[in-house]
Amino acid sequence: MTLKIMQIAFDNGINYFDTAEVYAGGKSEIDMGNAIKKLQWKRSDFVISTKIFWGGKGPNDRGLSRKHIIEGLDASLKRLGLEYVDLVFAHRPDPDTPMHEIVRAFNYVIDKGKALYWGTSEWSAQQIMEAHGIAHKLNLIPPLAEQVQYNMFHRERVESEYEYLFNEFKMGAATWSPLASGVLTGKHNERIAEDSRMALTDNAVMRRLREGLLSEEGRTKIEKVKKLKPIADKIGATPAQLALAWCMKHPKVNTVITGASKPEQMEENLRAVALLPKLTPEFMVEIDKILDNLPPPQFNFRDS
């Protein structure tokens, strides 16, 4: 299934694939690596990233210590069957490891040819700035990109907090969860879809998401999803395609990361690209009125 989905994506112009050491306990990297090998892609024809933080249950198998960054990436490369990844992300910030150790460790794996660049995921603007400051002081490579959650219900960081980073450092944004764990597809409008991940009872993350959706705030989100449906209909899209196209429309978003468990999902997601010209400024304003969550711009004292 992984091979088929990746082939469809590649045939339609997608050349960037993302994974992580924690996904399916490493099996995601194995499956992706096997697919790449069978598809016989030239290494120069695709870009791949992985993320390091949760490598196992042992105390040395998680976090961003120099030890785990080096050993974790080595293990990821072995599972992927690759000599290097194009981009390795710090999957989360690690308050227990000094920032200078983190910056030096990622530069070490770059110097050893195990990665070309490094980035962050779900780091605050302050943490990213700290990493840049240390890298500049030590003449090292700073984080190139941030993998950040971004969707119609989660906008603050991309649209406000990171504004300085985008402008000053030309930081790239690879965004994840464009469908808000499936909420923006509309499949949970009446009840939690039984065939969805959110229906899993033995998964703490999904259980927390499910409880959130059943809360008053969650029901408010569902009502907004219902109000977005007529806009999707007007441009000939499904609610999911509208949500994906909306993410792609943001000028600072370089990549929208979307998953698929079957080929049909990938084909549906791909059709969102053709919707971009249809999302006129008028439609975007209409969407903002429904969402009613536009982040305030960063305050400029010169304007006061």
Annotated active-site positions, please?
Answer: 23
- Which residue has tokens 């974790």? 72
Find, among 302, 256, 295, 299, the residue nearest to 164 by Cα: 299
Whats the size of the chain, residue-wise? Answer: 304
Q: For residues 109 and 82, is the Cβ–Cβ distance under 8 A? A: no
- Which residue has tokens 């299934």? 1
- How many helices (H) does the chain have, and how many strands (E)? 12, 7
Q: How far apart are CA 133 and CA 129, in angstroms?
A: 6
User: Crossing angle, helix 263-270 and helix 2-11, to 10 degrees?
Assistant: 20
Burial environment of residue 100 by CB neighbours within 10 A (0 to 12, 13 to 18, 19 or more): middle
Q: How far apart are CA 110 and CA 278, in angstroms?
A: 41
Structure tokens that stand for 172 in this block: 């790239």
Burial environment of residue 145 by CB neighbours within 10 A (0 to 12, 13 to 18, 19 or more): buried
Q: How far apart are CA 114 and CA 78, in angstroms?
A: 11
Find, among 220, 216, 188, 211, the residue nearest to 292 by Cα: 220
